[in-house]
Amino acid sequence: MSILEIKNLSYKYGVGTPFEIAALENINFSVEKGEMVAIIGHTGSGKSTLIQHFNALLKASEGQVLLDGKDINESRESAHKARFRVGLCFQYPEYQLFESTVYKDIAFGPTNMGLDKTEIDRRVRKAAEFVGLKESMFEKSPFDLSGGEKRRVAIAGVMAMEPEVLIMDEPAAGLDPRGRKVILDLIKNYREKTGSTVIIVSHSMEDVASVADRILVMNKGKIAFNDTVDEVFSHEQELREMGLNIPQITKIFSELKRYGFNLNAATYTVDDAAEEILRYLHKGGN
Amino acid sequence: MIKDITIGQYFPGESFIHKLDARAKLIVVFLSLVEIFLCKNFLSLAVVVIFAIASVAISKISFKVVLKGMKMIYFIIVLTSVLQIFYNDEGTVLLDWWKLKITTGGIFTAIFMAVRIICLILVSSLLTYTTSPTTLTDGISRLLSPLNKIKIPVDTLAMMMTIALRFIPTLIEEIDKIMNAQKARGADIDSGNLIQRAKALVPIFIPLFVNSFRRAYELAFAMECRCYNGNKKRTRMKQMKFSWRDAVSFVVIAVMLAGIILLNYFFGAVI
Amino acid sequence: MNNEALIRFCDVSYRYESDNETPLPLAIKNINIDIKKGEFVAILGHNGSGKSTFAKLSNAIILPESGNVYVEGMDTADESLEYAIRQKVGVVFQNPDNQIVATIVEEDVAFGPENLGIEPDEIRQRVDDALKAVGMYEYRLHEPHKLSGGQKQRVAIAGVMAMQTDCIVLDEPTAMLDPKGREEVMKSMLRLNKELGKTVVLITHYMDEAVKADRVIVMNSGNVVLDGTPQEVFSHEKIIEDAGLELPDSAKLALRLKKSGVNLPDGILTPEEFIEAFKLSLSGGAVH
């Protein structure tokens, strides 16, 4: 069964004023339990607005958001609960740290859930482990940490709520290649260990290609594509027109195919690409 | 949402009022505020009402925008007028109940006060609507430049003003972001009693302050890189020059002053 | 002294101040770099490799702990030369929001020249030219906070241009931008270098940007570990990876295939180069 289902969702800014703008138009899609979905789109495509509906931060002008089959906006209480069931980690989350210690900051979410001390403690430790924070850091001030460490504390703060669905908005933004890899690996690891549903929002195709099961491409407030990674990347031209970049490897493969090389175009990592080309060459060309 | 605040916003344009010299505009606005206070009867008040409405019309800024900008202060207008109703007990008694007494005099004063406040706001908000904040601070600093002689660092203060104005929208956006992020972690900001609400602000204001210091630090570097030095004399790209428009507006304001004094004198004061 | 070097680092070390008793390690260790006039240099390194320290040292925002930094022969340690140096070398920082001072685009671009005491007419001319150079002239009356990240960053570049600096050092100008913004900024930088002859030093951790430079310098824990053309630098996969960086995917793929015996030339960095080389190599018999 779908854990998250979006039905005919539309969202307008400034309703009732002459400045009314439709930010989202008739969005329909669902996310299965345990799936890893990537939402891609350039700035202003509506992707950030969309994810804020998943935990009831925004209320749709029309349509519904169903979590486990139930409308999250059914009551004030269900909307509040949705915050914990759907964990949303915003872009540059390190700028939202506020507590005096790392431990307390990670515990903020679980404390708001009204859990008891031992349960909070268990969750904080588990989340810290997921993001690779050592216990010796618990009593440090989050403001004394390095940029990458701060980001991991902030991510742990959302993971500690143990949400059924974890949404990460540009988790690797602004990090260097090593930092990006660390963050993406920890998300992968988190998903494997917990079996949670993960939605990752990004404008970097390279990052999501290797981790996502499915890609949802947003353009001008609408869903442009909702398909497997292979299928979405085959629409190179359209993606480019939407201001999105496709991975270099995909670029190379689709171009080579155009020149008549019989290669599998659904290739987007260096390892797969090398293997595919070698296979092709050993077969002796066409 | 807090993003909707329009007070202090600038609407670029090419109208007569937009083109007035910032210094002239400041003086004219100041004088017209004084004149609004000088009005003692409905006739003189009518003069400033016409002046205020005409100014808005000339500025080509839609009345809708101006009225929307006043939304925030409706409460103050209503409160002051209501207080006036009960404060003044002259004229015919219309209602006398318990300790409350409403008289015609009270109603008159209430209306008078309300119109006066609306005019005040119209005229002063027109100043910010038609002048870019930088030009405005520039104008203020030039008007106040004599104060440099008594060692008040007018230019530095003006620079601080400009930076403050520049960062208001950025900080509002940031508050919005932080609020959403903390709400996403279950922070309850919109409910509870006063103490609970005050407590709920901690997770918002601490990051806001920390980030602001970081911004200030980076901004200081960037300004140094562009050779800013608080003590050095700067030139300005935009020169300020008085033109015929400024002369016209001074004449208008002078005629209005004379008119108000005469109307007050001949028709007596109701306030 | 070599007159050709616009910026010269001679045995430069720098260390940030520590909050407590124990001093922090050196952020930059005995570095020697010459940036020549008209070059487009990319400085690569992971976060904390010392590459941002380079930016602040290059125009006397901070001074070396030991060694000297010269800008056109002027020692940055000489306080009387501070303004002369900053008129030669301008710096654009990572966060576009934190370097825009004024509430109107053109007034922000005018900020530098105004500080230099330039005549109003001349400022007007410089502001217009600078805004045109980065393609932001139509936005001159806009409010900066309503612009996109890429546009804001171009305004910041125009602000430095209006001071008529010979060299622009950009400290991770694209780190906070989306792909479209990155492309806009990259285009502006290339234009400044190729058409207007400005020296550009781009500090970044995006490999695909570094590929477009004339020269790439790789930094790791305060040291320069590689310095050369992109082709030379990106042939050292091991050193690049030890520095916490990654080769561009096209280069990685080419190296991987070469190791397996595919006949490809050295120095492939972009998808286009790969495709060309691959086609050529196949027509000449590829394997072994």
- Same domain (yes/no): C152, C253: no
Q: Verify that A123 and A242 share a domain, yes or no.
A: yes
DSSP tag of A139: T
Q: How many CB pairs under 8 A join A and C?
A: 85
Distance of alpha carbon A221 from its chain centroid, rounded? 18
In a shared domain, residues A274 and A160: no
Instruction: Say whether residue A55 is in contact with chain B using an 8 A CB cutoff.
Output: yes
Max CA pair span of chain A: 66
pTM of the model as a whole: 0.86
Q: Is residue B237 part of a domain?
A: no
Same domain, A122 and A260: no
Neighboring chain A residues of C248 at a CB cutoff of 8 Å = 248
Query: The complex's ipTM?
Result: 0.89
What mean pLDDT do residues C99-104 have? 91
In contact, C167 and C200? CB cutoff 8 Å: yes
For C46, the closest of A178, A256, A271 (CB atoms) is: A178
User: What is the predicted pLDDT for the residue at A25?
Assistant: 92
For residue A21, give how far its alpha carbon lies from the nearest alpha carbon of chain B (Å). 15
| pLDDT value at residue A286 | 46
Kindly list the partner chains of chain A, i.e. chains with 3 or more CB atom pairs below 8 Å.
B, C
CATH code where residue A173 lies: 3.40.50.300
Q: Which among A258, B12, B213 is positioned nearest to C143, based on CA atoms?
A: B12
Query: Is A118 in the same domain as A98?
Result: yes
CB contact under 8 A, A277 and C262: yes
| Mean pLDDT calculated for residue range B55-80 | 83
In this structure, the answer to whether residues B11 and B123 fall within a common structural domain is: yes
Q: C123 and B235: CB-CB below 8 Å?
A: yes
Q: Which of C190, C213, C235 is where one domain is finished?
A: C235
Kindly indicate the confidence band of residue B192, based on its pLDDT and cuts at 50, 70 and 90.
confident
B207 pLDDT exceeds 50?
yes
The answer on A122 and A61 residing in a single domain is: yes
Give, to the nearest 10 degrees, the angle between helix B133-143 and helix B22-38: 80
Contact B186/A161, CB-based, under 8 Å? yes
**pLDDT digit string, tens, across residues A177-216:** 888 889 999 999 999 999 999 999 988 787 788 789 999 9
User: Which C residues 103-162 touch A at CB under 8 Å?
Assistant: 148-149
Low-confidence ranges of chain A (pLDDT < 50): 286
On the question of pLDDT at B250 being above 60, the answer is: yes
Question: Is B259 found in the same domain as B136?
Answer: yes
pLDDT band at C288 (very low <50, low <70, confident <90, very high): very low
Mutate which: B10, B128, B167, B225, vs C, most C CBs within 10 A: B225
- Please give the residue that has the higher pLDDT: either A205 or C64: C64
Question: Which residue has tokens 């990006």?
Answer: A180
Which stretches of chain B sit within 8 Å of chain A by CB? 174, 177-178, 180-188, 202-204, 206-207, 210-211
Residue C263, domain extent:
248-288
- Both A209 and A87 in one domain: the answer is yes
The answer to whether the beta carbons of residues A57 and B180 sit under 8 Å apart is yes
Helix and strand numbers, DSSP H then E, in chain A = 11, 10
B22 to chain C nearest CA, in Å? 15
Residue type at A5? E
Q: Are residues B138 and B160 in the same domain?
A: no
Q: Do C110 and B166 lie within an 8 Å CB cutoff?
A: no
Whether C260 has a pLDDT exceeding 50, the answer reads yes
Instruction: Evaluate if residue C162 carries a pLDDT over 70.
Output: yes
- Both B139 and B9 in one domain: the answer is yes
Q: Are residues C223 and C260 in the same domain?
A: no
* pLDDT value at residue C1: 45
- Assess whether pLDDT exceeds 50 at residue B2: no
Task: Report phi then psi at C237, rounded to 5.
Answer: -60, -45
- The answer to whether residue C240 sits within a structural domain is no
Of C176, C248, C275, the CB nearest to A255: C275
Give the range of the structural domain holding residue A274, as residue numbers without chain letter. 247-286
Q: How many structural domains compose chain B? A: 2
Mean pLDDT of B121-138: 86
**CB–CB of B119/B36 below 8 Å?**
yes
B173 in a domain, yes or no? yes
Residue C167: pLDDT band with limits 50, 70, 90: very high
Q: Which residues are CB-contacts of A86 (< 8 A; sequence separation ≥ 6)?
A: A4, A54, A55, A67, A72, A163, A164, A165, A167
Check: CB of residue C102 under 8 Å from CB of residue C158: no
C231 and C171 co-located in one domain: yes
Mean pLDDT of B131-138: 82
* Inter-chain residue contact B134 with C100, CB threshold 8 Å: no
Query: How many domains does one find in chain C?
Result: 2
CB of B165 within 8 Å of a chain C CB? The answer is: yes
Provide the residue range defining the domain that includes B93: 2-150+242-267
Same domain, A236 and A282: no
Contacts of residue B67 in chain A, CB cutoff 8 Å?
A: none
Q: What is the SS3 assignment for A130?
A: helix
Residue C261's pLDDT band (cuts 50, 70, 90): confident
Domain co-membership, B136 together with B50 = yes
Residues C139 and C219 in one domain: yes
Q: Please indicate, yes or no, whether residues A224 and A279 belong to a single structural domain of this protein.
A: no
pLDDT of res. B110: 86
Q: Is A256 on the interface with C (CB under 8 A)?
A: yes
How, if at all, do strands B100-103 and C5-14 pair? unpaired
Question: Is the same domain home to A232 and A251?
Answer: no
Size (chain B), residues = 271
Q: What is the pLDDT of residue A7?
A: 93
For residue A175, the chain C residues in CB contact (below 8 A) are 47
